[in-house]
Amino acid sequence: MSKFESLKLAHTLAAIVWVGGAVLLTLYGAKMAGGASREERIGFTNQSLFAGTVFSIASLIVLGFGVWMVVDNPVWEFDQLWISLGFLGIAVGAVLGMGFYGPQGRKVIAELEAGDPAGEARSRRIGMVAMAETVLLLVVVWSMIAKPGL
């Protein structure tokens, strides 16, 4: 296996973990919104917080190996649309992961444990944001395959 193939494999495997996990959580979260118990919602939110840690690590691996491939490839440039979309996906994921999902998830757990109905509404808002981010990540995956602008 060549160096490029090794980089691409590591990049792709990390993307599978991140994007595949995001799709699964989004679908499972939609199912939970359909009538899960308070305990199930608390458990799901706790699992989502753990998944966020896994996604953060995977996204750093995606970024690192992606940058390495661009630097090593004489045809690819950082200003190409498909690479810019990849950076957008990483940036949005980082901002949401650190600034939104974690803090909001912890609030949902506290509200649900206290029996506060605000936890349900907050949980739905998180789900809507997660759905939008997942769509963005799927667009990024498409762009990595189609390479628009190349």
**How confident is the model over 62-105, as pLDDT tens digits?**
999 999 999 999 999 999 999 999 999 999 999 999 899 999 99
First-residue to last-residue Cα distance in the chain: 25
* Domain count for the chain: 1
> Which residues lie below 8 Å from residue 36, measured CB to CB, with a gap of 6+?
44
Q: Is the dihedral of CA 136, 54, 20, 106 positive or negative?
A: negative
pLDDT at position 12 = 97
> Which residues lie below 8 Å from residue 58, measured CB to CB, with a gap of 6+?
14, 15, 17, 18, 21
pLDDT at position 35 = 82
Reply yes or no on whether the pLDDT at 131 is more than 90: yes
Residue type, 4: F
**How confident is the model over 17-64, as pLDDT tens digits?**
999 999 999 999 999 887 889 999 999 999 999 999 999 999 999 999
Tell me which residue range forms the domain holding 7: 3-146
| Mean pLDDT (whole number) for 4-27 | 97
The pair of structure tokens assigned to 114 is 């206290």
| Mean pLDDT (whole number) for 124-128 | 94
